[in-house]
C-alpha cells in the first residue's frame, strides 16, 4: 500500500477480512490503471523537468528531494 500499511492493518482498521481488502484493492488498482484514467491523471516527469516550486521552495519537503535522482514505485532514489 502507498501508506506503508499492510493489508492486515487496513483490514483491522475497517473491520474487514484480508481477503476482502485484497480483492477490492485489486479492483481499485485495475480501475485506476485503465487507459482513460491513467492517461488523464498520471504524469511521469522527464529527467529534464525541474523540481516543482512547491517542493523546491518548501523546507518541509526539499530535504527529502534534494539528492533524489529518480523514483521507483513512489520511492525517491538519492544519489
Residue-wise pLDDT for 2-11, tens only, equals 567 788 999 9
Q: 36 and 4 in one domain? A: yes
Average pLDDT, the chain: 82
| Contact (CB, 8 A) for 76 and 65 | yes
Other beta carbons less than 10 A from residue 10's beta carbon: 18
Query: In this structure, are residues 23 and 10 in contact, taking their beta carbons and an 8 Å threshold?
Result: no
Those residues whose C-beta lies under 8 Å from the C-beta of residue 55, and which sit 6 or more positions away, are 61, 62, 65
pLDDT of residue 1: 46
Q: Count structural domains, the chain.
A: 2
Residue 21 shares a structural domain with residue 51:
no
Q: Does 58 lie in the same domain as 33?
A: no
Q: Which carries the bigger pLDDT value, residue 76 or residue 42? A: 42
Residue 64 vs residue 15, higher pLDDT? 15
d(CA 18, CA 5): 12
For residues 31 and 49, membership in a common domain is answered with: no
**Against a cut of 0.75, is the pTM above it?**
no
Q: Does residue 77 have a pLDDT over 70?
A: no
Average pLDDT over residues 36-63: 83
- Compute the distance between CA of residue 12 and CA of residue 6 in angstroms, rounded to an integer: 10
Which domain, by its residues, includes 6? 1-42
Are 35 and 58 found together in one domain?
Answer: no
Amino acid at each position: 500500500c502507498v501508506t506503508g500499511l499492510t493489508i492486515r492493518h487496513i483490514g483491522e482498521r475497517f473491520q474487514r477480512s484480508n481477503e476482502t481488502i485484497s480483492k477490492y484493492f485489486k479492483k481499485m488498482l485495475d480501475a485506476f490503471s485503465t487507459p482513460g484514467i491513467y492517461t488523464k491523471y498520471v504524469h511521469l516527469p522527464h529527467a529534464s523537468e525541474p523540481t516543482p516550486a512547491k517542493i523546491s521552495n518548501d523546507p518541509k519537503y526539499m530535504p527529502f528531494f534534494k539528492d533524489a535522482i529518480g523514483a521507483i514505485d513512489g520511492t525517491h532514489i538519492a544519489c
